[in-house]
Amino acid sequence: MSALALQIGAQVAAEVRTRLRSSGTLVALATILLGAYVWIPAPGGKATSVSWRLADGTVQTSVHSAAYIGAAMSFLGGFLAIAVGFYLVAGSIRRDRERRIGAILAATPLPNAAYLLGKVFAHVAYLALVTGVIVPIGVYQFLRFGVGPFDALAFFGPIVLLTLPGIAFVAAMAVLFDVAPGLSGRMGWVLWFILLGVIVGALPVAQSLNPTTGISDRLPIFDPMGGVTVSVLIGRSLPQAQPGSISTGHIVHQEVIPAVAWSGLPLDADFVTLRLAGILWALPPLGLALLLFDRFDPARRRLPIGRKARPVPVSEAQVLLDPQAPASAPSAPSFANLAAVSARPSAFLSVVADAVLLSKTGSILRWAVVLLGLLAAFLPTSAAPMVGAGFLLLLAPLISEASCREALAGAGPLVFSQPGVPRSPVLWKLGSVSLFVLVVSLPFLLRALFTSPARGFAALSGLLFVAALAVSFGILSGGGKLFVGLYLGLWYAALNRVPYLDFCGLFGGDLGLPVRAAYLAAGGAFVGIAMAVEGRRRVSGSR
């Protein structure tokens, strides 16, 4: 085996092991398993994974054949790879930098290309493993509801062909975001979410449109998620279906949908070639990443977008070059001569201090959130939901790492040994994150309260739920990505008016007190789990 292959193999093994041993993987696996289980609804109900409408207005779905379950699972696999996968793997190079492993790696003969390729392959391997759990769930659902023989090609073919290019593209994009200035953290997570609309929707749809008919019937060349590809293929396999009437995903209809025989996605040469060639879309971001990668050299590190290098004053430069520079240094004072201080540690003061720190480290995002919060309070009622949606979107990255900040910086022993930190760090973080969230959302919270107490309570309970989610997921996974990934999914579902998921009551979801109380209870339950895990870590010394 060549040296390069060995180097890449070693990286893949280390990276995948590290990720598999993190509690974030467990949470992600549990969520994916649950999602995959729900994705294939029982036959004879109102919910479908794939449905279409005939010319006479009848809506149909397929019987639960291997082809149908395979097609539905392939769509889920593509979605998981693109939308969730990024949040699972992004930050790997950032972690090497922050944990100071980067400097050690930089001193090895490992070429830049091998390092970045190793990261991409590691991401691919990990995402294939994590996304792969949908396969046994699909098989299980076939065993429960399956009709006809198990056609392995019709089942596995679409899953592999739809998921693999998405995984490769996301793996390369995660590496690119990790090395691009200003995108390796929270700003990048939000940008990726915004970019998803273009990557998943706008670009593939634009390519698939037939200029003559105006119908999406051409296979797109660039479609990492494969959503548009699936729609086009289903359309080709169902000439009787009305153009543009195909629905994929977990759709709940008004009435029971009749099921008919369907041959599944046609695995023709065009489709197979396009999907396999789609893996090559990973190359442009990888190439760009190679250009931007600074090999952990602080001198080559580019400043984040928008920040200019600050000239160092002469006196300060002297201090940096020679910390003992006598030029401006007063004679060293004696410890015994320092003025006495009187400390009154309190949990309240600590909560406020942590909330202030949360604001200070919030970069430009905090001002955007404050502005959107104000706009949501004073704009006309019709505009408030969209501005509120922006507010809730940007809130996620701001608070995502608050509860694991110490773990990420390695400052845990310094911080947790302070007298003001309450006995439970989880509750401390819950207090500070809740305080921060309530302060920045105060204008629109007050507006909701004055509009109606029910709306006010909905907003309040929703925001507290978000704070609890951020704190508990941060503690459980040791990072902010898991929270951001799951929260953005919830946000998207709420925005699209999925029943019961309008967690803040912003998008017209009049859910009533019991549902609001359920949100608070769910937040409390997550916090309880985080407290139990944190307590165990403290005993085991792994905090």
Least distance in Å: CB of 93 to other proteins?
16
The answer to whether residues 131 and 171 touch, using CB atoms and an 8 Å cutoff, is: no
State yes or no: residue 269 binds other proteins (CB under 8 A): no
Span near other proteins by CB under 8 A; candidates 61-69, 257-265, 356-364, 463-471: 356-364
Task: Out of 342, 380, 382, 514, point to the residue binding other proteins (CB under 8 A).
Answer: 342
State yes or no: residue 1 binds other proteins (CB under 8 A): no
Site map 365..404 versus other proteins, x via CB under 8 A: ----------------------------------------
Long-range CB contacts for residues 20-24, cutoff 8 Å, separation at least 24? 20/126, 20/129, 22/477, 22/478, 23/476, 23/477, 23/478, 23/533, 24/88, 24/476, 24/477, 24/478, 24/479, 24/481, 24/482
State yes or no: residue 541 binds other proteins (CB under 8 A): yes
State yes or no: residue 319 binds other proteins (CB under 8 A): yes
Q: What is the DSSP string of 335-375?
A: GGGSPP------HHHHHHHHHHHHHHTTHHHHHHHHHHHHH
* Structure letter (DSSP) for residue 82: I
Evaluated on CA atoms 125, 31, 191, 473, the torsion sign reads negative
The count of other CB atoms within 10 Å of the CB of residue 17 is 11
State yes or no: residue 353 binds other proteins (CB under 8 A): yes
Site map 29..58 versus other proteins, x via CB under 8 A: ------------------------------
> Which of 411, 506, 507, 523 is closest to 464 using CA atoms?
523
State yes or no: residue 314 binds other proteins (CB under 8 A): no
Size of the site for other proteins (CB under 8 A): 55
Least distance in Å: CB of 20 to other proteins?
18
Chain centre distance of CA 520: 22
By CB under 8 A, the residues from 66 to 105 that bind other proteins are 98
State yes or no: residue 316 binds other proteins (CB under 8 A): yes
State yes or no: residue 427 binds other proteins (CB under 8 A): no
Least distance in Å: CB of 523 to other proteins?
25
Span near other proteins by CB under 8 A; candidates 20-28, 166-174, 215-223, 313-321: 313-321
Q: What is the rounded CA–CA span in Å between residue 294 and residue 296?
A: 5
The CA distances from residue 286 to 79, 184, 202, in Å, are 21, 15, 23
Task: Out of 314, 360, 380, 382, point to the residue binding other proteins (CB under 8 A).
Answer: 360
Least distance in Å: CB of 18 to other proteins?
17
> Which of 363, 414, 466, 404 is closest to 91 using CA atoms?
404
By CB under 8 A, the residues from 521 to 540 that bind other proteins are 538-540
Task: Out of 7, 92, 248, 350, point to the residue binding other proteins (CB under 8 A).
Answer: 350
State yes or no: residue 318 binds other proteins (CB under 8 A): yes
Least distance in Å: CB of 366 to other proteins?
13
Q: What is the DSSP string of 197-255?
A: IIIIIIHHHHHHB-TTT-SB-S--S--SS-HHHHHHHHHHH-TTBPTT--EEEEEE-SS
> Which of 482, 452, 469 is closest to 530 using CA atoms?
469
By CB under 8 A, the residues from 150 to 189 that bind other proteins are none
State yes or no: residue 308 binds other proteins (CB under 8 A): no
Q: What is the rounded CA–CA span in Å between residue 494 and residue 353?
A: 32
- Both tokens of 227, joined, read 């959503």
The answer to whether residues 486 and 400 touch, using CB atoms and an 8 Å cutoff, is: no
User: What element of type H or E holds 432?
Assistant: helix 425-440
State yes or no: residue 329 binds other proteins (CB under 8 A): yes
The answer to whether residues 119 and 19 touch, using CB atoms and an 8 Å cutoff, is: no
Question: Whose Cβ is closer to other proteins: residue 285's or residue 420's?
Answer: 420
Least distance in Å: CB of 483 to other proteins?
19
Task: Out of 212, 328, 381, 382, point to the residue binding other proteins (CB under 8 A).
Answer: 328
Site map 407..426 versus other proteins, x via CB under 8 A: --xxxxxxxxxxxxx-x---
The count of other CB atoms within 10 Å of the CB of residue 351 is 23
Question: Residues in the site for other proteins, rule: CB under 8 A?
Answer: 98, 315-316, 318-320, 323-325, 328-330, 332-336, 338-346, 349-350, 352-354, 356-357, 360-361, 405, 409-421, 423, 538-541, 543
